[in-house]
Structure 1
Amino acid sequence: MRVLTLFILLPMALAGLFGRLRLKAAAVLSPTNQEHVIPGRYIVVLQKTVSTEKVQQLAKEYNADPRHIFIDVLKGFSANLNPAAVQELRNNGDVDFLEQDTRISIEPPAPRSPVLSESDSEDEEDARPSRWRVQQGAPWGLGRISNKDKYRSNYCYHYTAGAGTCSYIIDTGIDPTHPDFQGRARQLVSFTTSKRDNSGHGTRIAGIVGGKIHGVAKRTRLFGVKVADDHTQRSLSTVLSNLIAGINFVTKDHPRRKFCQKGIVVLIGIAVPRSRTLNQAAAALVKSGAFVAVPAGDSGIDASSMSPASEPSVCTVGVANIHDSVPPQSNHGKRVDIFAPGVFIKSTYKQHTDARFSGSAAAAAHVAGLGAYLGAKDGFTGAGVCPHIRRLSIKGQLRDVRPNTVNALAYNNAGGPCNPRRLRAS
């Protein structure tokens, strides 16, 4: 009997010391393009049942960066590991899988469609006493999402304009001092070596979400989460574990924001090659109650090969131009939920200027802004926002849509109230 008891208790004791035993080693996931791999660096994802204390214990044991200990979106950490440590973790029953950490350079696509007519008087706003507002000569993307039949230069929107919502921008950071943000923006945290938005990319997409002149939701609060830097003058660079750390931060931070009672919006402005860990983190962010808008990507391929675009619970956005056609560089496929303006979009930029840029990040920014707008106006929040946006969308209007891809253009449902005759009567 004593021998039998020993055989039963010994594995339990060893498991307590070294982690649960396993019959098959945990998988190590690698990207298709090995050029992206950071040699010797891994993201270690633990089983969901592992305690927070165990996560912290393992992270300390393997010298993980404290900023890269993940509790909220998944249980795990990232660290530099030698081959022996990798094998040790693969044999640990507490480990679900490992994924090689990567550094990805993203080159924003050059504009390929001309702007037709776009006034420089974007700040002239209709002041009629009405529940609806009209911004004269607005950036074309704003005009397009508020007019059902065709592009017009006026942006019509409900007076709530995203009030009571908070929009997190996970990108290169934002410049909170830009006058278009009217003091509603803050740069919260950086997971890179710099706290400033040196590239201007994050500031540009933040302007589309919530700028006074350039934004869809002109009263939302804007929070910058920096996970990427400018790699060269023409490209951005991000590390996969930094991106996951940014998502983990937002998941932990947003429940504290009691003044965001109308909804939490998150724009992840970066598309990277498909990553199981990144998709898992994005799904957890949605589950926490946030509406998450992401770019489909700009390589002219199926969005299912990108992350977080391939995660079903996020709202994946493709590009439309001013002619209501989809440019060939926009990613496509069943994972695209909606299209939005994304070519030659005028928005805020660094050093208190503005600039035009293109890409699915710009398109996703329109949809993120629309999420904040609808949260304040209609009360839709979290996972319910993307289906609502799809219901409101303009169906069948776009040209050059690839097979197995939705033909739906984002729309704020302002057509009835913003009929010119109604506005004159209000």
Structure 2
Amino acid sequence: MLLSKSVALSILATLGVNALVIPSVGDVVDVFAAEGKQLVAADKNGEGKDVASAASPKEMDVKLVDEKKQSTLFSTEAVREIIPHKYIIVLKNDLTAEQIQYHQEWVALQHVNSLATIQDDPSHSFFTATKDLNPTSSSVDAGGIVDSFSIENLLSGYSGYFLESTIDMIRRNPLVAFVEKDSKVYASEFDTQKGAPWGLARVSHRQPLSLNSFNQYLYDTEGGDGVTSYIIDTGVNVNHEEFGGRAKWGATIPTGDSDVDGNGHGTHCAGTIGSKAYGVAKNANLVAVKVLRSNGSGSMSDVVKGVEFAAKAHQAEAKKGAKGFKGSTANMSLGGGKSPALDLAVNAAVKAGIHFAVAAGNENQDACNTSPASAENAITVGASTISDARAYFSNYGKCVDIFAPGLNILSTYIGSDTATATLSGTSMASPHIAGADSEFFVSSKGVSPEQLKKNLIHYATKDALSDIPDDTVNLLAFNGAGKNLTEFWGASEQTISTEHKELIDFTKLENKIEGLIHKAEADSEGFFKDLENFVEGVYKSN
């Protein structure tokens, strides 16, 4: 193995780099001035004032309501996708635990008061919408807060079923950043048909595939070692032989659902990330986070909870500091209408240290109109074909960061411990990127998601694809073909060294240091002094 990457930095100092510490981010919740095509904002007014935390719920009935000001209410334009009477409420940043607790108690009180106004109407649509939540409960207990979420100080809020009168009160609460109507979200699978596993071969070759290369995957045999990858999807067939005991169940978010992938979509994605035969990073540990039911659909609020689970699980693993742990990736091959809450959750999880890949979507439209494809901090992935064209269904636009194989992709499936299936969609493209992220981790522990995203884009094969719109990048993922990744990590060094007048040539530096090492074999006296002087001189001159 070559003396590699930031070797000069390693020699100058042994630094305990911790890129997994959650930063204090004050700009996570913005006003959303730029609205997506499918985003409807109603009753936009100014922000409220700060609220004292020491108050009882009844006292807060007065203090926490501003009759003249309301937070924004977001909703998808597709009415059929709205979940009746269900909402996601995102709170403002930097609230204390006491403020949040009192706020939720106040919401519960408002909900009870509003519910009392419809008790004499058992056919009301609210009772229809909430009847499956708790069948044994009476109508007086219907709805209310169902779940809460929090990703450190980056994002907090809750979801639940409420009447419009309660939502009107919530929107006037100065602690609330915005309210969003909860909506359906779907796995981004496009098609099922027979085919061959060409995707791995394509991401490991710069040139178009040929008869000699279409079935050859070049990769790092240590790829994914020490990396945990969260598959936020329909679940994973964790007992599949292809996973070799590296897959486990993390969480089931939908109420009343089971710890089983009854759909196959999540298992297929997991296989592309890290299975033995079909995976990009063949040693990655895989964790199932079930947010979609067996029919491949779910709610935005459940997906937000799944993102929260992954972020907290990653933080716990990083804090534990287990030997060999290098970091976490996540894949989310699903999508729906524009959801500010989901985009914020993904952005916050990335800030927390998870490297996120998301599907661009399969509607042949602008990816910026959908979530989580429009989440700025994630890597949004479009789909390409074996003939190096944009897949006809793949979304496009400025929100797409990179393309990866997404048509006729063979991977693991459900039905048995050896089952496979061939699927198509940006859902199949995104796991190639999550796998590539997991593979690159082997050579650089602790790199930030922001830096790895920049390097991945910088390292991609340029102008390889046809049918790419003018406002869309023409970049095809490349994994390095199992070779030394000096060029890949060179992008990182260039970013770090922007304050220097000239960029350091780390390849020449590496060769020079190796020459000094060989010299030391013959004449060890003065070696370390020569090495120290050389490295010091390089940095002084730059």
Give ranges in structure 1 of 5+ residues lacking alignment: 1-8, 119-138, 419-426
Greater fraction of residues in strand? 1
- Report the 3-state secondary structure (helix = DSSP H, G, I; strand = E; otherwise coil) of the residue aligned with 1:25: coil
Shift of 1:186: 0.5
Amino acid at match of 1:394: T
Match of 2:427 in 1: 361
- Report the 3-state secondary structure (helix = DSSP H, G, I; strand = E; otherwise coil) of the residue aligned with 1:246: helix
CA distance in 1, matches of 2:306, 2:461: 33
Shift of the 66–156 alpha-carbon distance from structure 1 to 2, 3 Å rule, reads farther
Aligned counterpart for 1:201 among listed residues 259, 265, 284: 265
- Report the 3-state secondary structure (helix = DSSP H, G, I; strand = E; otherwise coil) of the residue aligned with 2:421: strand
- Note if 1:156 corresponds to 2:218: yes
Shift of the 60–208 alpha-carbon distance from structure 1 to 2, 3 Å rule, reads farther
- Report the 3-state secondary structure (helix = DSSP H, G, I; strand = E; otherwise coil) of the residue aligned with 2:303: helix
Amino acid at match of 2:325: Q
- Note if 1:283 corresponds to 2:347: yes
Match of 1:221 in 2: 285
Shift of the 106–170 alpha-carbon distance from structure 1 to 2, 3 Å rule, reads closer
Match of 1:245 in 2: 305
Aligned counterpart for 2:253 among listed residues 188, 191, 204: 191
After TM superposition, the structure 1 = structure 2 runs for residues 298-313 of structure 1, keeping only pairs within 5 Å, are 298-313=362-377
In our comparison, the structure showing a higher alpha carbon Rg is 2
CA distance in 2, matches of 1:217, 1:285: 22
Shift of 1:106: 4.7
* C-alpha distance after superposition, 1:391-420 (max 9, x if no partner): 1111011111122110110001227679xx
Shift of 1:59: 3.4
Amino acid at match of 1:157: Y
Match of 2:441 in 1: 375
* C-alpha distance after superposition, 1:244-268 (max 9, x if no partner): 0101111111111134732210111
- Report the 3-state secondary structure (helix = DSSP H, G, I; strand = E; otherwise coil) of the residue aligned with 1:300: coil
* C-alpha distance after superposition, 1:284-334 (max 9, x if no partner): 001001110000000000000011111211100000011111122100011
Aligned counterpart for 1:39 among listed residues 84, 89, 92: 84
Shift of 1:54: 2.8
Shift of 1:67: 6.7
Shift of the 411–10 alpha-carbon distance from structure 1 to 2, 3 Å rule, reads closer
Shift of 1:83: 2.1
Contact (CA 8 Å) 2:236, 2:267: kept in 1 or not? yes
**Farther-moved stretch of structure 1 (254-263 vs 318-327):** 254-263
Superposed CA RMSD? 2.5
CA distance in 1, matches of 2:483, 2:308: 40
CA distance in 2, matches of 1:417, 1:190: 39
* C-alpha distance after superposition, 1:113-145 (max 9, x if no partner): x85xx4xxxxxxxxxxxxxxxxxxxx3111111
Give ranges in structure 2 of 5+ residues lacking alignment: 1-50, 109-142, 486-542
- Report the 3-state secondary structure (helix = DSSP H, G, I; strand = E; otherwise coil) of the residue aligned with 2:276: coil
**Farther-moved stretch of structure 1 (294-303 vs 157-166):** 157-166
Shift of the 384–417 alpha-carbon distance from structure 1 to 2, 3 Å rule, reads closer
Aligned counterpart for 2:470 among listed residues 403, 407, 410: 403
Contact (CA 8 Å) 1:158, 1:377: kept in 2 or not? no
- Note if 1:83 corresponds to 2:164: yes
Contact (CA 8 Å) 2:331, 2:434: kept in 1 or not? yes
* C-alpha distance after superposition, 1:347-382 (max 9, x if no partner): 000022011001101100000000000011244442
- Note if 1:177 corresponds to 2:239: yes
CA distance in 2, matches of 1:65, 1:344: 44
Shift of the 249–143 alpha-carbon distance from structure 1 to 2, 3 Å rule, reads same
Shift of the 248–40 alpha-carbon distance from structure 1 to 2, 3 Å rule, reads same
Contact (CA 8 Å) 2:144, 2:161: kept in 1 or not? no
Contact (CA 8 Å) 1:263, 1:382: kept in 2 or not? no
CA distance in 2, matches of 1:367, 1:256: 24
Amino acid at match of 1:172: T
Match of 2:136 in 1: none
CA distance in 2, matches of 1:67, 1:111: 36
CA distance in 2, matches of 1:333, 1:391: 18
Amino acid at match of 1:17: M
CA distance in 1, matches of 2:94, 2:56: 18
Shift of 1:17: 2.3
* C-alpha distance after superposition, 1:43-102 (max 9, x if no partner): 111111222233234335545888721121522100111122112111111111111111
TM-score normalised by structure 1 residue count? 0.84
Match of 1:17 in 2: 60
CA distance in 1, matches of 2:482, 2:222: 17
Shift of 1:219: 0.5
Identity level (%): 32
Shift of 1:150: 2.0
Aligned counterpart for 2:337 among listed residues 259, 267, 273: 273
- Report the 3-state secondary structure (helix = DSSP H, G, I; strand = E; otherwise coil) of the residue aligned with 2:160: strand
TM-score normalised by structure 2 residue count? 0.67
Shift of the 362–168 alpha-carbon distance from structure 1 to 2, 3 Å rule, reads same
**Farther-moved stretch of structure 1 (21-30 vs 77-86):** 21-30
Match of 2:191 in 1: 110
CA distance in 2, matches of 1:58, 1:326: 48
Contact (CA 8 Å) 1:52, 1:75: kept in 2 or not? no
Match of 2:177 in 1: 96
Shift of the 17–411 alpha-carbon distance from structure 1 to 2, 3 Å rule, reads same
CA distance in 2, matches of 1:65, 1:211: 42
CA distance in 1, matches of 2:290, 2:475: 31
- Report the 3-state secondary structure (helix = DSSP H, G, I; strand = E; otherwise coil) of the residue aligned with 2:155: coil
Shift of 1:220: 0.7
Alignment size in residue pairs: 383
- Report the 3-state secondary structure (helix = DSSP H, G, I; strand = E; otherwise coil) of the residue aligned with 1:158: coil
